[in-house]
Amino acid sequence: MKHKRIISKKTINEIRSTRCEICGQRTNIEPHHINTRGSGGGDIRENLIQLCTQCHINTHSGQHPTKDDCLNKVAEREGITYDEVYAINRKAMGYEV
């Protein structure tokens, strides 16, 4: 399966932020899939977070912010609990939750 790099523009615009959602930096912000597309992660708000280049590199190498840090931030942004974010993502990935 080819990796799809195109992310839903609509979803990106919905979560678009001028700052890194982890450290607050204002430059080089890019969207990150918390559950990678390769692992079935969806283009949904609950799976996307805006990160600066440094936080983005860090999370991909397993350092801070961890996946849990990202999920907690998304929960805060969406006004729902960590468990709800987790469940919504699991469902989007085709699991029974």
Kindly identify the residues of this chain, within the stretch 8-37, that bind Zn ion according to CB under 5 A: 20, 22-23, 25, 32
Contact flag: residue 71 with Zn ion (CB under 5 A): no
**Helix (H) / strand (E) containing 29:** strand 29-33
Contact flag: residue 55 with Zn ion (CB under 5 A): yes
b vs e for 77-97, b when ≥16 Cβ sit within 10 Å of the residue's Cβ? Answer: beeeeeeebbebbeebeeeee
| Segment near Zn ion (CB under 5 A); pick from 38-46, 49-57, 73-81, 86-94 | 49-57
Give contact residues for Zn ion (rule: CB under 5 A).
20, 22-23, 25, 32, 52, 55
